[in-house]
A and B are shown apart, each in its own frame.
Chain A
Amino acid sequence: RKEVEQDPGPFNVPEGATVAFNCTYSNSASQSFFWYRQDCRKEPKLLMSVYSSGNEDGRFTAQLNRASQYISLLIRDSKLSDSATYLCVVNGGRGSYIPTFGRGTSLIVHP
């Protein structure tokens, strides 16, 4: 089993739709979690950190489920500009503060 797993998609949704991605991790000792966004041929950029209590930033909501070892990202009212690859990052997956990226989930928002 891979340390961090994501469904690569693509997720093809119309503007205005709500879409959710999950990311599972294998090491129960993992300590911190993030979602990054990567546009085509660009570098990853932080979208949001994921806190135990869940957190929201505008149309984006991130949640952590430690019991089932996954994090989720919910995007409401999708915009064309949300089209990108969404990467989850888990820190501490190899016993230290070392980051492991998932392969990313591709989102395509169409008119």
Chain B
Amino acid sequence: EAGVAQSPRYKIIEKRQSVAFWCNPISGHATLYWYQQILGQGPKLLIQFQNNGVVDDSQLPKDRFSAERLKGVDSTLKIQPAKLEDSAVYLCASSAGGAVKNIQYFGAGTRLSVL
């Protein structure tokens, strides 16, 4: 079974530029998550989708971050404009459904450096 696919693996941009990350979840997984992980910290949930609807985006900085999940399959996370503090690993995860005992499967992540 194919895992969660993310691209690109690495991205280096200058502050105030824009960047986009792509995620393709495990086939059939209804729930998709985007996390930001800063070095030395745990993953912080940015947004959670159930199919193509948003379950939670309370920690998404909406003035600069946006995400969409068209057709309830793959998803894109965008940052515009980027700030130095956005340097982090952006992880995408998926799980099979909306049940409480969801197990998440993670992609390899995109490592973003903002200069």
Contact = CB atoms under 8 A, between A and B. Distances in A.
Interface of A: 4, 6, 8, 31-32, 34, 42-46, 49, 87, 89, 91-92, 94, 96-104
Contact of B48 (A42, A43, A98): A98
Contact of B103 (A49, A96, A97, A98): A49
Nearest to B43: A101
A63 B41 CA distance: 23
Interface residues of B, number: 25
Contacts of A32: 100-102
Contacts of A31: 100
Given A49-B103, A89-B104, A99-B48, 12 more contacts: A32-B101, A32-B102, A43-B107, A49-B101, A87-B42, A91-B100, A91-B101, A94-B56, A96-B56, A97-B98, A101-B44, A104-B41
Nearest to A46: B103
Interface of B: 33, 35, 40-45, 48, 55-56, 58, 91, 98-109
Given A92-B100, A101-B43, A102-B42, A43 B56 contact: no
A88 to B, nearest CB: 9
B48 to A, nearest CB: 6
Contacts, number: 61
Q: Which 9 A-B pairs have the closest CB atoms?
A: A101-B42, A43-B106, A103-B42, A31-B100, A32-B100, A101-B43, A98-B56, A32-B101, A104-B42
A46 B104 contact: yes
Nearest to A31: B100
A100 B45 contact: yes
A68 B38 CA distance: 29
B58 A94 contact: yes
Contacts of B40: 8, 103
A18 to B, nearest CB: 24
A44 B107 CA distance: 9
B98 A45 contact: no
B38 to A, nearest CB: 10
A91 B43 CA distance: 14
Contacts of A45: 106
